[in-house]
Amino acid sequence: MGEVRLQTPRVLVIREGYDDLEIQTANPDLILWDRTRYKHKWPPVSDAPMIWATFIAWAAARRTGAIPPEYLYETWEAEALEIRILNADEDDESGSPTQPGPAPG
């Protein structure tokens, strides 16, 4: 079986007063975004990409235990100095991060 390439972003989180955190987001984090965005009437990802990136990074950090489950999103958002999508360079023109590159050789 070859390398698994996820369509969910890996992110680097830089927060005030904390060590940098590199974390892999997953489908549950994206589903939580969809549900929360709908409930709060937040704008779509295309209109608010930093809210989306900050939220899914927070969701992934809670899901994996990198932060405690009671850690509020509002606190995370206030402390986040930067959320960087690490695997964005893998995107092709269609926006899918899963397209393979040219074969070596």
CA 14 distance to own-chain centroid: 13
pTM score = 0.77
Please tell me the predicted confidence (pLDDT) of residue 7. Answer: 81
DSSP symbols for 28-71: HHHHHHHHHHHHHTPPPTTT-HHHHHHHHHHHHHHHHTSS-TT-
At 88 the three-state DSSP class reads helix
At 80 the three-state DSSP class reads strand
- pLDDT tens column, 18-58: 999 999 999 999 999 999 999 999 999 999 999 999 999 99
Lowest mean pLDDT among 1-5, 17-21, 79-83: 1-5
**Residue in 17, 34, 35 with CA at minimum distance from that of residue 76:** 17
List CB contacts of 42: < 8 A, sequence separation 6 or more: 36, 48, 51
Q: What residue segments make up the domains of the chain, in order of their start?
A: 10-90
On whether the CB atoms of residues 81 and 15 are closer than 8 A, the answer is yes
pLDDT at 99 over 80: no
Average per-residue pLDDT for the chain: 84
